[in-house]
Amino acid sequence: MSEHSFEHMRRAMIASQLRTTGTNDPAVLAAMGEVARERFVPRGRIAMAYADALVPLGGGRQLNSPMALGRLLTEATPEEAARALVVGAATGYAAAVVAKLVDSVVAVEEDPELAAAARETLAGTGVELVEGPLVEGHRAGAPYDLILIDGAVEFVPQALIDQLKDEGKLAAGMVENGVTRLALGRKAGEGFGMSAFADAAAAVLPQFVKPRAFTF
């Protein structure tokens, strides 16, 4: 596929996948229109770069759909001066988009192969890539105005909540009873709560799955 073809697909993504499903923040639309998503998918999956689907990355991980990321960032309304943490960097796409919206971005990835890919794709973006357990975030860079968990989770670790600024926001897909919904959380003093706002498919991060209770 040519660069022109990808540009056409990127415009189509914005028109048919983002604008029609509630991604209406001009800054988010501009950022997603600038980042070449095809650079962040495996070569063998490049035809899926702009599909409204989860893209397999290997090792049980997937790249989330453009719609899920667009809606999460639209609801989070990141400010330009914000400091953001992206948990589950994978190949770096979400972090590259967030870097177009805020001044400072830290991205955490624990899979060595994905981290190596992200280190290459994020070169020159200003994103600080950190290798380490996703559930632990990156305390050295805290506090953050925004934490984006790029995937779906069954729980939000206290370690991540502790790394939010007071009035900070956390955006993620939340899995409850097998149903995934996009959600936004806010921290107020010692309190924190998540509120779902849309149903959407999102890649479940294995590190954020609750242990299953034993049953006979």
Q: Which CATH number belongs to the domain containing residue 92 in this structure? A: 3.40.50.150
Distances (CA, A) of 101 to 14, 18, 48, 126, 146: 17, 17, 25, 12, 11
203 in any annotated domain: yes
pLDDT, tens digit, 9 for 90 and up, residues 3-44: 669 999 999 999 999 999 999 999 999 999 999 999 999 999
215 in any annotated domain: no
* φ/ψ (deg, to 5) at 98: -60, -35
- If one counts the domains in the chain, the total is 1
63 in any annotated domain: yes
213 in any annotated domain: no
55 in any annotated domain: yes
86 in any annotated domain: yes
Boundaries of domain holding 95: 3-208
- pLDDT the model gives residue 177: 85
123 in any annotated domain: yes
pLDDT, tens digit, 9 for 90 and up, residues 156-203: 999 999 999 999 999 999 998 889 999 999 999 989 999 999 998 888
157 in any annotated domain: yes
- pLDDT the model gives residue 215: 52
